[in-house]
């Protein structure tokens, strides 16, 4: 029997860009192809995707891609991979519908093999068997992916919670998970996002009470911001609005698209006479309105952020409006979110973000739910993923307390294969792995050098040092010019910079002055040293060597 390899290419030791390869012999599949969001130091970076070098090196083995659910951290990098390899993509009807627009924006979808794998379906891929099992989460049709290997089931929990009163009435398939345990789960790759939270997470249905309280008490319009994909949350806003005599409208392109797709497919039920277009909202008294809006992560182009800057042409904020912040900040977005919330407060908006009756609940399992997943499926090995190292660590502690021996719990790291054999498993040698930064125009491959330059520019400005060079004779012509933009240091340092460069060039040999690259390097290096010493700044230094 050969080794079964499970290789996270993203999503292990981090929350984001989930992508894991499973390999048995000559068959490889990928589970999820997600993106993550840049941190605040990544200037001009729109999204971060996994480095697909390993996939491309093994492209002849890659048979299919499976998607657990339609959240960006599980599907967002798919267009970038499908641009390079054309393999079938299996996921639920709902997830396909949710990702189709994004695929169409970047690719010709006619050449793609988009295969439906609804909860409960099984498909054979070479020597592997893949089954989709329904779990509850904050988006419909979320599924565990169980991969049948020669050593037993490798089970991807996906993002999950055990919600016994789900908004759409579709429960986690506990009986199939239990049977899977009977058949033998060799390894569970589990969500560990909420490993810090003891007890059971509240049901999504709890949010209805929070909405009801605000809808009945707010004197004017109620705005709700949440993730554009949170259909259950939108459903509850629609239902509570209907019950309290308010009408609902939507601001923000992504949310409008989601509402349109989901209501057409029957995943969202719009109560009669409840939905109105945004431009009709002015005909109604404010206390009869609820407006769902994008912008829960403080995205600069979102409807809510534009409203908070009075730049949204379709709707204006009014004093007396109430905003429900019905989401959790993704790490890295906090300051953009609070800036938006503060602007709204200044405009006379009452923002509800931490109410005694919750207006947001997590879609991820708390500790007791994580234990329940383990108890149902009884895996031999445990591998916490979808968490930062602190979450993985706490998951390990929890499993140890449940009696799992240390050697059967693996703290997964991006790029380290978990190699499962007949009688043991271990972490193997690293494979090529990393991150690729995509800029605002969609270009993949913003390098670390580009990021460093942007960081210098943003922090300390730019200094351009101009030198005219007679290359044939190896002579500097005229004086050294120094120009600065976005620079806040003293002018004396700039003058000294010109002097330092002039002295450095005077000390070069004739042959060195005939080498333009050498001169460029000397100019940049000298100017940089001068700026650090004389201005205590590190601006981006650009040497402009003119050959005359």
Q: Which residues are catalytic?
A: 191, 364
Instruction: Enumerate the β-bridge partners of residue 444.
Output: 438
> Least distance in Å: CB of 10 to Zn ion?
11
Angle at 287 between CA 281 and CA 292, to 5 degrees: 55
Tokens of 187: 């390894």
156's enclosing H/E stretch is strand 152-156
Q: How far is the CB of 515 from Zn ion (least distance, A)?
A: 53
Write down the least CB distance from residue 363 to Zn ion, Å: 6
Report the alpha-carbon distance of residue 161 to residue 191 in Å, rounded: 9
- Contacting residues toward Zn ion, per CB under 5 A: 71, 73, 159
Q: Rounded distance, CA 45 to CA 52, Å?
A: 18
Q: Are 232 and 211 in contact (CB under 8 A)?
A: no
Closer to Zn ion by CB, 51 or 73: give it. 73
Residue 385's alpha-carbon distances to 198, 266, 354, in angstroms, are 18, 33, 28
Q: State the nearest-atom distance from the C-beta of 414 to Zn ion, in Å.
A: 15
Helix, strand and coil content of the chain, in percent to the nearest 5, comes to: 35, 25, 40
What is the rounded distance in angstroms from the CA atom of residue 280 to the CA atom of residue 337? Answer: 28
Shortest distance, CB of residue 452 to Zn ion, whole angstroms?
30
For residues 395 and 367, give the distance between their C-alpha atoms in angstroms, rounded to a whole number: 8
As a dihedral over the C-alpha atoms of residue 504, residue 506, residue 507, residue 509, rounded to 10 degrees, the angle is 120
Q: List the structure tokens of 90.
A: 């299996």
Distance CA 172, CA 175 (A): 9
CA pair distance 455, 440, nearest whole angstrom? 16
Least distance from Zn ion to the Cβ atom of residue 73, Å: 4
| Rounded Cα distance, 389 and 300, in Å | 30
Which is closer to Zn ion, CB of 76 or CB of 220? Answer: 76
């Amino acid at each position: 029997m050969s080794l079964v390899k499970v290789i996270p290419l993203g999503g292990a030791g981090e929350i984001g860009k989930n992508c894991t390869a499973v390999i048995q012999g000559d068959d490889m599949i990928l589970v999820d192809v997600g993106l993550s969001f840049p941190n605040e130091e990544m200037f001009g970076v729109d999204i971060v995707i996994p480095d697909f070098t390993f996939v491309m090196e093994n492209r002849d083995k890659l048979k299919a891609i499976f998607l657990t659910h339609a959240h960006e951290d599980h599907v967002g990098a798919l267009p970038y991979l499908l641009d390079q390899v054309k393999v079938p993509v299996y996921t639920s009807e709902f997830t396909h519908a949710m990702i189709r627009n994004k695929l169409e924006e970047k690719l010709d979808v006619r050449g793609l093999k988009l295969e439906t794998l609804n909860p409960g379906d099984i498909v054979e891929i070479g020597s592997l068997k893949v089954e989709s099992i329904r779990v509850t989460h904050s988006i419909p049709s979320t599924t565990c992916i169980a991969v049948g290997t020669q050593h037993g089931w490798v089970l991807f929990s996906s993002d999950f919670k055990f919600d016994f009163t789900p908004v759409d009435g579709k429960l986690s398939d506990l009986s199939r998970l239990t049977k899977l345990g009977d058949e033998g789960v060799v390894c569970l790759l589990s969500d560990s996002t909420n490993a810090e939270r003891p007890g059971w997470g509240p049901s999504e249905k709890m949010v209805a009470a929070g909405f009801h309280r605000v809808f009945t008490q707010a004197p004017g319009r109620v705005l709700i911001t949440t993730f554009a994909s949170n259909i259950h949350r939108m459903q509850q806003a629609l239902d509570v609005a209907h019950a309290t005599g308010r009408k609902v409208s939507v601001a923000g392109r992504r949310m409008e698209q989601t509402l349109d797709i989901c209501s057409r497919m029957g995943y969202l039920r719009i109560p009669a006479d409840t939905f109105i277009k945004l431009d009709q909202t002015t005909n109604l008294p404010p206390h009869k309105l609820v407006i769902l809006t994008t912008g829960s992560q403080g995205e600069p182009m979102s409807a809510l952020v534009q409203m908070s800057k009075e730049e949204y042409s379709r709707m204006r904020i009014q004093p007396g409006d109430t905003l429900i912040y019905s989401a959790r900040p993704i790490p890295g977005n906090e300051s953009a979110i609070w800036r938006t919330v503060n602007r709204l407060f200044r405009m006379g908006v009452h923002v509800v973000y931490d109410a005694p009756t919750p207006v947001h609940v997590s879609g991820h399992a708390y500790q007791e739910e994580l234990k329940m997943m383990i108890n149902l499926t009884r895996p031999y090995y445990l591998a916490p993923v979808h968490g930062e190292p602190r979450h993985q660590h706490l998951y390990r502690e929890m499993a140890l307390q449940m009696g799992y021996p240390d050697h059967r719990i693996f703290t997964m790291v991006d790029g380290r294969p978990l190699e499962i054999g007949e009688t043991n498993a271990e972490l193997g040698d690293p494979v090529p792995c990393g991150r690729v930064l995509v800029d605002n125009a969609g270009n993949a491959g913003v390098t670390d050098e580009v990021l460093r330059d942007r960081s210098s520019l943003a922090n300390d400005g730019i200094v351009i040092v101009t030198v005219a060079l007679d290359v044939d004779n190896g002579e500097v012509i005229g004086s050294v010019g120094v120009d600065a933009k976005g620079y806040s240091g003293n002018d004396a340092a700039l003058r000294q910079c010109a002097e330092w460069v002039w002295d450095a060039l005077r000390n070069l040999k004739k042959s060195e002055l005939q080498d333009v690259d050498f001169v460029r390097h000397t100019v940049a290096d000298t100017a940089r040293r001068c700026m650090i010493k004389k201005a205590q700044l590190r601006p981006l230094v650009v040497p402009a060597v003119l050959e005359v």
